[in-house]
Chain A
Amino acid sequence: CKKRRTRLSQDAHVENSDPSSHGEEEEDEEELPTPSKATKTEDHASEESVPRPQKLSKGELYKPPTAEELHQLKEAESLFHCNLLKMQMEELLKEVVLSERRKRLVDSFIMKIKALLQNVPQTREVELNDHSWISEGVKVPFLWVPKTTKGKFHMAPPASVSLVGSYPLGTCTKPSVSVDLSVIMPPVRQDASLSQGTPSRTRTPDPPESRTRSNLLCHRAPPIPETVVFKENCNAAGAGLMYSNSLTVKIHVYPPPGFFKPSLFHPKRNNVRTHWYTGLEAPQPDAVGPPTPHYNSSLLGDVLPKAHLQFLSAISAQCSAFGEAVALLKVWLRQRQLDRGAGCFSGFVGSMLVAYLLSSHRVSNSMTAYQLLRNSLHFLASTDLTKNGITLAKNPDSKPTLHEFHSTFQVVFVDPSGYLNLCADMTANTYKQVQNEASLSLQFWDDPTVDGFQALLMTPKPLIRTCDHVFQLHGLVKLQASCKKLNLLGELMDHGGDYVLTALPFILSLLQLGLGKRIHLLTHSLTADPEWSVDSEPPKHKDQTPLSFGLLLNPEHSSSVLERGPPADSPEAAEFRQLWGPRAELRRFQDGAITEAVLWGGSSACQKRLVPREIITHLLQLHADIPESCVRYVGGLFDDVIKIGTGEEESLKVVQSFDDLSRKLWQLEDLPLSITSVQAAHPALRYTQVFPPVPQKLDYSFFEQDKQSRALVPHKDKPCPVFIPPLQVICHMEGSGKWPHERLAIRHVKAAFHIRLGELLRKQHMYTCSTTPTHVDVYKDGLIFRIQVAYHREPQVLRESIGPDGLLRYRDNEEAQALEMETLHRPYLTSTLHGLQQQHPSFGVTCRLAKRWLAAQLFSDEVDEDAADLLVASLFLQPVPFTPPSSPQVGFLRFLHLLSSFDWKNCPLVVNFNSQLTASDYVEIKNNFIASRESLPVMFIATPKDKKVSIWTKQGPSVQMLQRLIVVASESLRVLEAQLLDPSQNQDVRVALRPPLDMYDVLIHLNPKYVPLLDQAVDPPHITFSRGTVPGSAPSTRGLLPVIDFNPVSLYLAELRDAFGHLALFFCDPYGGTVIAVLWKPQAFKAQPFKTSQMSARCVEVSGDEAHSLPNVEAILEDFRIMGDALVRKVEPRMENWVV
């Protein structure tokens, strides 16, 4: 443990003794007796004044406009896309700005504190080391190292107590309201005690700190019943009192003005003596130690708040929108988790930035808050403060130059005094993150197809959902060793022994160098300021929350296994070797060059995605002595869930095989009509099949054989054979007058085509085929392609009918829709998504994860595959405020977030493939949606080809199921994020894939022997069965026709739904689930009058002359068993859930 007394700052919190308050206004009102009644009526009144939707009369619409109104309307039109954004921002401001009532409460509380502080009694002088005067149960609020510090101090009433910071400025915002209170020490006394306490007054000014503490201890006196909590704050001095959960009062203790000369805090000066710090006698007592810029700026930050307040007040007085602009900027920063923690871009820096823009006339005083925010973001996006720092100081002579600041700090933003760097603790990476966020925000700000307000100010961006890969360093104590290894003693002293903050910039630059092109951005979490109660020991550095780092990957390079370095004989080669250590080796490449290179492991795509992990652990171990066990890399934890084989490679093989088939179909000769298109219509052919089919060699003896059709048939005494899914292929035939114009005839002609296709493929390419009237199955490369012939006019023929007036009319019907879905929409969707996969390599895997989750949670029949793929596609096409996911993990988390947070009731989800939809299309979709909301599916997804109907979600989910889906998704997301971020938790992502079964009414347990996809279950099964496969590769042609699409579980489910669908819902995980969960419909057990059309599975009760019918539950339960004979192991009615 190192010394930590270099800060003046100690925050202490007083927590409200009442734990029930959560910062909710309503609750506050109940707690606080004084003005509640008045405000309540006020609130009520404001609700009343909500503009009621009203239609303007013609007279009102066309009356001559006043100049003011004209101006207002014009401004709204030109500034905002519509009034909506302007009004939304106004509403938001209303939410975050402190209400008058709240201000009164704060003021009265501040008055109390002030009075207390003023009345600190004068005490006698004591030795610094003497803690005997501290009241019992209170611990010294900092690490008392080195122990031998000499000095005396005593308590005295402060010279003045005044408000500083955002509260008096009026830029204080909810929810974390903090009020800064400055306490100025009495000048003479203080000086005396200082001079006694330390050899030099610029060195280690502990006494104020002690005083702060003693002040606080006094506060434990009866007048305020709250408990005090200390809080150390890194960038601004402060001792906090927390009042309820929604108000923090920070008490800062400042030396009197003029006590320190600002020039003492020149970033190049040393203010901490090495020998004092280390406790060793310095060899040369007069030697000047290394500069201590961070220490200096933290001291200086304590001196200047008053000046800053004056400066900002002056600016604010000139620009009316200043306060609102800062409030908006604060919300923006907070949603991006940039505004708190060590080295944050705090609200204070934000207001200084706006002040800078105003004072340098980059923006004008008459601008609105909206414009100011926009300009601030534009400035941030375009200005690199890590290279071109800015300063607020007016006359630069005799003050340190920007160049000097740049040489000591990573980010430079100098305050009006000219000595303080406001961004002293900020790392370059944090600033890059700010910049990145700003430019991203500007990108979608103008995009009319995006709900800018939501993305800009309303969507939180936690690290785990923002970054593609995340890793954590836990066991921070190891960083101490890395400081030693990196030779950072001077910096360590500068940071007062906080080895985490010391090592961080060096680790960041190391990783940045190593990852290079692979990443767009490397970010890290900001360590939160520790807080502790007065009666416990202050926390040590190693107890801090683990550091989290986030990577935004560049998908082009992130997974390449080769790191190609400079040529062996170039001077950079040594550098390269130094960076990579033993992993660097000389390699000769195909182009003849011999260069240094590093080759990382990984053969499959999902292993390659983890190359960054290898790099990070290697570099940290090599250069910073951080062992691999301390790095917890969260990037591929979900891979396991969908891994049988590797997945992506199999998908690729399937697609290649399809391409080959497609070519062969085009080239077929002797077809009566030519083929106009061959389109895929199956998830496996767009890389989104959860478990893509794997070709397997079959053991013929396992099956029975059907001699006549040369096909294998499952054997009734053996386990269910391996499941081979048919992959739909739609084959459009050219239109011709030969096609009949009648539905039945078309079906027959199509059957004839199927026969012909089968024959030709058998003859010309030796494929085994099986023909049915609706399709022909082709056995190729161990896969089954189900070719369906389509005729483009058929849906139209199905719709035709002749009306009573003799006119030919078109009436939509389900049959036609189903056919269009199969032959038109699904192939189109498949090819579009296939294209999306080419742009975003992680799209397919994300879809697979999402669908695996949906299936595991028993939702796969509610949200079908196509709808799920569309949902995922929307994450890639409309990622704002994020960037498109570059790893399946973050894609999956965002999928869950989308499900749980999207406002399905009021908004259509627009999936804008290839940017085909324009702004006006969006408006049209939205208007159409609002106009006919009632009749549209609850989950409405619009695509360029489908603006009005949402064909993919027509069948489901229902309102109830969507509700449940939302609940389960948000719960899964919560569990997963907690698990991924907290190293102490057991890492088992499968938790989110195990559905709770206790809410279901009946469970049907299946015999695993007849569940062909058993191996795909979430939890790997204990027993496995032979499924009639032998090792070896499947024949590419010929062979007996395998058993196609034979899955007893789905057959059973279909039968159950046909028979009892009117009474119950059936849920099952299609991927190896061995339980079918049954839920009775709410109205199922209601007695109905006897009707001949509704007597299925019901029994009759006669009362008098009337017969009523009820479901025959006993028989139904037995039917469950009978219908699934051999497949069903046990039917378990959960009688505690229901009664008949």
Chain B
Amino acid sequence: CLIHFYKRKMRVLALLFLAPLFLGACLAQKRVLVLLENVAVKETHSLYFSMLQRNGFTLTYKVADDPSITLKKYGEHIYDNIIVFAPTVEEFGGSLSAEAMMDFVDNGGNLLVTAGSVTGDVLREIASESGFEVDEDGTYVIDHHNFDTKDGGYHTRVISDAQNMVKSDLIVGTGKLPLLYEGTGLLTDPSNPLVMDILTGSSTAYTHNPSLPIKEYPHTVGKATVMIAGLQARNNARIVFSGSLEFFSDEFFQAEVDTGNGKLVPSGNFELAEALSLWCFKERGVLRVDGIQHSRVGEGSAPEFYTIREMVQFYIDVKEKVNGEWVPFKPTDMQLEFVRIDPFVRSTMHVAKSELIGTTFKIPDVYGVYQFKVNYQRLGLTRISTSTQVSVRPLRHNQYERFIVSAYPYYASAFSMMFGVFVFAFVFLYHSDETKKKTE
């Protein structure tokens, strides 16, 4: 009786201790450090910050060269995401530097950085570590064919059509409104598989210093004029780099785009900024593997080992984060690879029981140590890479085919021999030579 009482108490105590851990884990993903150019940015970008707060993020504001900035406390990062709204900062304050930022990203933190026509060296360093390059100081993205008439006269406030966004609803949302942009251009390397051009200019855009004539080829021209670039690192940390701080400002969010032909259209900046921030801070396009099951067809649990030519079934439970909740993810093109150094079998998985997707196949007739590998990488989603090792044994001596028709002669000869010996025993022991005596 006493034992039961203590057991219940321990259970309650355990729950009490664990509950804040769970709560902490839920809140832990949403701590954001916002580094500002000056205190006025907090107010000129108030719509953006209030949108983040509505989405559940806790923001800590600091001016970029504030000496009290720290990222780590007792060896652990105290923020999950960093926003840098300080294009001209030359050096961060406190313990922050480009190296500390990249260390933060290596540990899974996400970055949202804005540059500008004049960009400080520390941001250029962060950009080059992330795979982009910021154009020289004094350059703007210019588009004489698609500009907002409220610009400063040099056609530097450009309008980019919604078609120029990367083709992924997870990253940019579903907005179709034109986007207003004023800032510098970014150069991305098309051969880098981790980098994506989130928003580019139209064919008529280019980056250059607007008051200097064009003497050499502009650094970015046409559709290669990248305005917002993104990177998803191999550890799934995300970096979004924008060449314009004004893109996120209240003025641009509330602006009406005047394309010059008289019709005023609201700008799509707010929708894009919201979608982009939610994607960058891992609220959208995040997958996780909840479990893997593999077994012989017809069985429920994984065996110790498999034998060649067996039918095996494999199920994986993948969940996607939608609106803060993990819901089953049902892709149609996730593939399973059965690999022993090289893939022997590659099969597309389909939706199986309720929340799982899986497939069934026959194990190859080559024995060895294999791995069930699922590598799923799609634009806008985090990478899934799981690997389960199993051993595949060859047939045991008693698992081969028996009673083969071609062996009947051997069976016949063996058994007929046995029969012969049995009968011979009789004849040999009890034969009497009476006829022989008669002849004698």
Chain B binds chain A: no
Interface residues of A (CB under 8 A from B): none
